[in-house]
Structure 1
Amino acid sequence: MTTAALRPGLERGLRRLRDRWPVLLQIGVAVLVAWLVATRVLGHAVPFFAPVTAILCLGLTYGQRLRRIVEVTVGVAIGVLVGDVIVLGLGNGAWQMSVVVVLAMGIAVVLSSGQLLVIQAGVQSVFIVALVANQSGAVSRWLDALVGGLVALVIGAVAPTSPIRRPRAEAARTVRDVAMTLRDVVAALRRGDRALATAALEEARALEGQLSELRTAAAEGVAIVRQSPFQRHHAPSAHAAQGLVVPLDRCVRNLRVLARRASVAVARPEHVPEHYVDLVAALAEAAEDLARVLDEHSTPSAARTVLGRVAGLSARVDPSAGLSAEMIRGQVRSMVVDLLVVAGLDDDEALQLVPESHLP
């Protein structure tokens, strides 16, 4: 595999690291605090379960973090407690392990329907029987698990990352990728380049991964403002960022159809009027403007103006256009509506800016 082929994957990995380093830092702090509390305050010699529980609770995402912390803490506590009781009473071995898993997970099912809680109860009970298997320090291990969960809860509440910056950055990145794909479609149509048209279609399909990142970031932003009393003032902005997901999802779907019809038009070949190709190019420029607005957290009024111009141009029908060309024009009109919603209009306002189609 060439270096050029490896570069996109490496760039995505480094981008994930950049987005996640504050979470990793929180986990590191939680591990340190949990260990110090268990050793210095409780006097436990090797409080293994304190940092482990903190890591499991905080995880790498903010989505439903409070619920995850509670489920993991309770699950670990149940598993450790039941495992210790079985080891104290029956010793350790294969059949004891089987018994402890059934009991721990059964108790967890009675207490909660949360799958994470039940699984953690089973896993931690097995760990006690299989690896710890000593009858001293049973209560201390249970307390260590509680310490780790409580530390994670405090750190998760007081030190979340910005709930707004990442969702808007992901939205801007998605819109910028839409613009890039549109430019490739334009180039393929003007050159009659089948390979470039196919590549543009693959780019459009690959945007689903970017949308997944956006959905995660938006959900985490809302979760943070709900769970942290220190971030409640960001709630309106967090919900606004989450509101970008649906129109961008529609936009990417429409882009895939546009890229598909452009690929068909180049392959057959079918006539696509130059006016329609210019229309796609104008939409690419408007999308780039909108991405810049999202990056700069500035007012989107200028981006709306540009998109409104594209909407006006899209109304003119060329009598010489075939099926693929008309579908391309139709998808441009749909994408204009989607991007106007991203720019802050509601659906009805966006639709009103797109005039009825007409012959010249």
Structure 2
Amino acid sequence: MSDAQGPAPSTNTVAVPVTWRTRFSPRPGLARLRESWIAVAQIVVAATAAYVLAQVLLGHQTPMIAATVSISSLGLARDARPRRVVETVIGMLTGILLAEGLRLLFGTGWWQLAVALGVTMLVARFLSPAPHFAIAAAIQAAIAMILPVGPLPFSRLLDGLFGGVMAVVMTALLPRNPLAAVLREARVFFEGFDAAAARLVTALRRGDRLRAERGLEKARALQGPLDAWRASLESGRAIARVSPFLRSRRTELERQARILQAMDLAMRNLRVVGRRIVYVTDLGRELPVPGEAMAEIARAASLVGASLDDIAQEPVAREALLAIARRLDPAAMLPGASIGEQALVSALRPLVVDLLVATGLPPAEARAALPRL
């Protein structure tokens, strides 16, 4: 009989060969190049322009600080909002100013460097709570103390000012693509949201408390991706406000902000639903009716995620969610069920409202779509 059915599948773990191509794949590096080429262009143009202008207009032979201020102000970090760039520039100019003043008083040497760094960092921490502000000030103070004496006192402050101005100008005239970073972070969040919802659906259909707990863990882990999405979005909106070349992106970024705000609330309500599911699956009994309702909500949430790239998916997601919302009456959906099961259906209601708001429906209309209790 066993021969007719074929050999039993092997349960042994099979080793997967790892070649040097797998270990040293060029794809991550190429992805970083695609994401960073605009930032690199910003830095190159700003630093070179600041260096040349300091040479031509100020007559400085080696205006190194002009270039270093531009490079440090912009950086390769995704958060290149104008306000942050200006804060970094102010921090560096503070460091240069203090170093030049201390140099006039005490001269140069190892202990003068120590004094300049200590004073600069203490003053910077007093002026700003941002750690990068103090570090930027200290770096420029060290450079100003170590370099040979300039032609005139405080002349390096002008070099730094040129570098800072060019960094701010480049954020507007050669802006980084904010929408690409926002979409990338949003996709990561929705992938996590879908994974958490899928685990909770399986838990209900199988009456599996362990899967419910894992789904709840995944829902709790969504805060990091949401914060990354919010940081990218805030940076993108700030850049779009000052750049004339990003006017066409402002409407889309505002739409993203509306989706993010609604999904923040949806994430919190998904955790509430997850805790309810952990409770109702404790007996190990299958719950197909709330499981199917949760599955429909999960599918609609994935449509909300798809609308980030294709706005035509917004009305599709809205109609799907409205169809679910009209049926979310605990007594009608689960007549005679336990209080715990009906409480689970009640917990689904605010989750659906949040997802409806994410599709662009006003909150009042979203709440009105639910049956009265």
1:250 is matched with which residue? Answer: 265
Contact 2:303 2:314 in 1 (8 A): no
Per-residue deviation at 1:334?
A: 1.3
User: Is it true that 1:356 corresponds to 2:354 in the alignment?
Assistant: no
Larger radius of gyration: 2
Give the gaps of 5 or more residues in structure 1: 4-10
User: Is it true that 1:214 corresponds to 2:222 in the alignment?
Assistant: no
How many aligned positions are there?
345
User: Is it true that 1:96 corresponds to 2:118 in the alignment?
Assistant: no
- Whole-angstrom CA distance in 1 between matches of 2:324 and 2:114: 67
User: Is it true that 1:197 corresponds to 2:212 in the alignment?
Assistant: yes
Alignment of 1:154-173 (within 5 A): 154-168=169-183, 170-173=185-188
User: Is it true that 1:135 corresponds to 2:135 in the alignment?
Assistant: no
1:50 is matched with which residue? Answer: 66
Contact 1:173 1:291 in 2 (8 A): no
Give the gaps of 5 or more residues in structure 2: 1-15, 17-26
1:344 is matched with which residue? Answer: 360
Equivalent in 311, 315, 321 of residue 307 of structure 1: 321
Matched residue type, 1:269: L
1:292 is matched with which residue? Answer: 306
Contact 1:272 1:322 in 2 (8 A): no
Q: Any runs of at least 4 consecutive aligned residues in structure 1 with deviations exceeding 6 A, and if so which?
A: 11-18, 105-110
Deviations 1:200-258 (A, max 9, x none): 12211111111112211221122012222332344333223212222111100111122
Per-residue deviation at 1:95?
A: 5.3
User: Is it true that 1:263 corresponds to 2:289 in the alignment?
Assistant: no
Matched residue type, 2:265: R
Contact 2:206 2:284 in 1 (8 A): no
**Closer, same or farther: CA 54–258 of 1 in aligned 2, 3 Å:** same
- What fraction of aligned residue pairs are identical, expressed as a percent? 33
**Closer, same or farther: CA 141–176 of 1 in aligned 2, 3 Å:** same
Contact 1:66 1:153 in 2 (8 A): yes
User: Is it true that 1:331 corresponds to 2:366 in the alignment?
Assistant: no
Give the TM-score normalised by the residue count of structure 2: 0.77
Per-residue deviation at 1:89?
A: 4.2
User: Is it true that 1:188 corresponds to 2:203 in the alignment?
Assistant: yes
Matched residue type, 1:238: L
**Closer, same or farther: CA 310–99 of 1 in aligned 2, 3 Å:** same
Higher alpha-carbon deviation: 343-352 or 14-23: 14-23
Contact 2:50 2:166 in 1 (8 A): yes
- Whole-angstrom CA distance in 1 between matches of 2:28 and 2:296: 28
- Whole-angstrom CA distance in 1 between matches of 2:298 and 2:274: 13
Contact 1:179 1:283 in 2 (8 A): no
CA RMSD of aligned residues (A): 3.6
